[in-house]
C-alpha cells in the first residue's frame, strides 16, 4: 500500500539514456533471422517456378516464355517459403522491407539465359532421379514441353523417353503435367524403369486407316465408332489440349487432328470404349453382357443437396431429381458417368 509507487522507476529513467533510438541517424541492428523482403540473384535463377507454387500469397510469378521473374512486393508476407524451397538457392532474405512507395511495387527481374546448363549439378552425387514408368507412358511429349531446362527427350515414333540427369533440376514440372502420371522421383541406386528400352509395339501398328476426316491418312489418328458413341462429352472434358468437340444435341463428334497430341486420355476415359488410335478394334464379345450387368449411379441421400445438376446433365434424361424423390431409370441409363462428374456433393457412385 502506498502512494506513487512508481517513484523509483521514474527517477531512474530520468537519469538513464532514452530507450528509443534516434532513427534515422542511428540505425537498428537486425538479428540474423529477421524476415524482410526477398532478394534474388538472377544469374542463378532457372525459372523452375517452385517459388511460385509455394508462395502462400501468390506474390511471385515465373514466366518461362519471356524469361522473367516477377514479385509483387505488396503481396509478399515475408514468410520465407520461397527462400527455403529454391533449388539453386538464389533467393535470399533482406532484413528490411522494400521502400515505401505511392504505387503497389512490382519488381521484374530478367533472367538472361533461360536455358542454362547447370554445370554445378553435373558430376555431383544425385540423390533422386527422375524415372518414367514405360508401361504407362504414351510418349505424348508434354513433359518435354514443360521442362524449363530441356532435360527430357521423347520420341513418339520410336517410343523413346530419356532424361539428362545432369541437367535435371528436380523441379517436378514434368510430373505435374504428365497426363498418365507415369513420372516419379526415385532414389538413385534403384534400377530405373528401363529408361532407354523401346516399348514393344502393342497393337498392329501401321496398316490402313479409318474414318471420319477423309483427308490425308497418316497412321495414328484418333477415331470414334459413331454407332456406339453416346456423345457424353467425357473425352472432350479430359482432353488436355482441347482437341475434341462433342455436341450432344446434334450428335456430333469432332477431333482436331493437328492439335491432338496422341496422349490417349480420351480413349481411357470413354465409357463406351468407342475411341481408338489407328485401326478400329474388333467389337469385343462382352458387349452383349453389359446390359445385364449394367452398373448405374446410386445416390447417397445424406449428401445430396438437391441442386438437380445430375438431372440437367444426363444425356438420356434418365434422372429425375425431385426433393425427397430422386429416381433413376435404369433402362435409359447408359453408364456415361456424366452425373457423377458433375455432382458438387460427391453423392453419386456407380453401383
Partner 1 sequence: MGKKTIIPFGPQHPVLPEPIHLDLVVEDETVVEAIPSIGFIHRGLEKLVETKDYSQMVYVIERVCGICSFGHGWGAAASIEGAMNIKIPERAEYLRTILHELSRIHSHLLWLGLLADAFGFESLFMHCWRVRETVLDILERLTGGRVIFSICKVGGLRKDIDNETLDEIVGILNGIRKETKELTDVFLEDDSVKNRMCGVGVLSKEDAAELCAVGPVARGSGVYQDMRMTNSHGVYGELDFEPIIEDAGDCYARCKVRIRELFQSMDLIEKAAAKIPDGPVSVAAKGNVNGEFITRIEQPRGEAFYYAKGAGSKFLKRMRVRTPTNMNIPALVKTLQGCDLADVPILVLTIDPCISCTER
List residues binding partner 1 (CB under 8 A): 1-6, 8-10, 13, 19, 30-35, 56, 77-80, 84
Residue showing cell 462382352: 286
Q: State in angstroms the smallest separation of the CB of 332 from partner 1.
A: 32
Nearer of residues 95 and 334 to partner 1, judged by Cβ: 95
Q: State in angstroms the smallest separation of the CB of 211 from partner 1.
A: 39
Nearer of residues 9 and 216 to partner 1, judged by Cβ: 9
Nearer of residues 14 and 25 to partner 1, judged by Cβ: 14
Which letter does DSSP use for residue 110 in this model? E
Phi, psi dihedrals of residue 142, rounded to the nearest 5°: -65, -35
Nearest to 278 by CA among 215, 201, 204: 204
What does the alpha-carbon distance between residue 234 and residue 265 come to, in Å, rounded to a whole number?
10
Q: State in angstroms the smallest separation of the CB of 186 from partner 1.
A: 16
Q: State in angstroms the smallest separation of the CB of 5 from partner 1.
A: 4
Q: Are 54 and 81 in contact (CB under 8 A)?
A: yes
Find residue 110's DSSP bridge partners: 68
CB-based contacts of 309, cutoff 8 Å, min separation 6: 339, 342, 343, 344
What does the alpha-carbon distance between residue 264 and residue 243 come to, in Å, rounded to a whole number?
12
Nearer of residues 19 and 119 to partner 1, judged by Cβ: 19
Q: State in angstroms the smallest separation of the CB of 170 from partner 1.
A: 16
Q: Are 92 and 41 in contact (CB under 8 A)?
A: yes
Nearer of residues 300 and 322 to partner 1, judged by Cβ: 300
Amino acid at each position: 500500500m502506498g502512494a506513487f509507487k512508481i517513484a523509483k522507476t521514474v527517477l531512474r529513467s530520468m537519469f538513464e539514456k532514452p530507450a528509443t533510438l534516434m532513427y534515422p541517424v542511428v540505425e537498428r541492428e537486425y538479428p540474423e533471422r529477421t524476415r524482410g523482403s526477398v532478394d534474388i540473384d538472377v544469374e542463378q535463377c532457372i525459372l523452375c517456378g517452385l517459388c511460385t507454387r509455394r508462395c502462400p500469397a501468390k506474390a511471385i510469378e515465373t514466366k518461362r516464355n519471356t524469361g522473367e521473374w516477377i514479385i509483387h512486393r505488396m503481396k509478399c508476407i515475408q514468410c520465407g517459403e520461397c527462400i527455403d524451397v529454391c533449388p539453386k538457392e538464389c533467393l535470399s532474405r533482406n532484413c528490411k522491407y522494400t521502400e515505401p512507395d505511392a504505387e503497389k511495387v512490382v519488381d521484374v527481374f530478367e533472367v538472361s539465359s533461360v536455358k542454362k546448363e547447370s554445370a554445378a549439378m553435373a558430376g555431383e552425387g544425385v540423390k533422386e532421379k527422375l524415372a518414367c514408368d514405360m508401361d504407362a507412358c504414351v510418349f505424348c511429349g508434354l513433359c518435354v514441353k514443360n521442362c524449363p531446362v530441356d532435360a527430357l527427350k521423347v520420341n513418339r515414333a520410336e517410343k523413346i523417353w530419356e532424361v539428362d540427369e545432369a541437367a535435371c533440376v528436380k523441379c517436378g514440372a514434368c510430373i505435374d503435367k504428365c497426363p498418365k502420371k507415369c513420372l516419379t522421383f526415385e532414389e538413385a541406386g534403384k534400377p530405373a524403369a528401363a529408361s532407354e528400352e523401346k516399348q514393344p509395339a502393342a497393337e498392329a501398328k501401321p496398316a490402313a486407316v479409318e474414318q471420319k476426316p477423309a483427308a490425308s491418312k497418316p497412321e495414328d489418328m484418333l477415331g470414334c465408332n459413331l454407332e456406339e458413341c453416346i456423345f457424353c462429352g467425357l473425352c472432350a472434358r479430359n482432353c488436355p489440349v482441347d482437341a475434341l468437340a462433342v455436341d450432344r444435341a446434334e450428335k456430333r463428334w469432332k477431333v482436331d487432328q493437328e492439335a491432338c497430341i496422341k496422349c490417349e486420355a480420351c480413349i481411357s476415359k470413354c465409357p463406351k470404349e468407342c475411341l481408338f488410335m489407328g485401326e478400329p478394334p474388333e467389337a469385343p464379345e462382352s458387349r452383349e453382357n453389359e446390359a445385364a450387368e449394367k452398373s448405374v449411379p446410386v445416390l447417397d441421400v445424406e449428401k445430396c443437396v438437391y441442386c438437380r445438376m445430375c438431372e440437367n446433365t444426363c444425356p438420356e434424361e434418365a434422372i429425375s431429381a425431385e426433393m425427397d424423390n430422386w429416381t433413376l431409370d435404369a433402362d435409359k441409363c447408359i453408364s456415361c458417368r456424366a452425373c457423377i462428374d458433375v455432382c458438387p456433393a460427391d453423392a453419386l457412385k456407380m453401383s
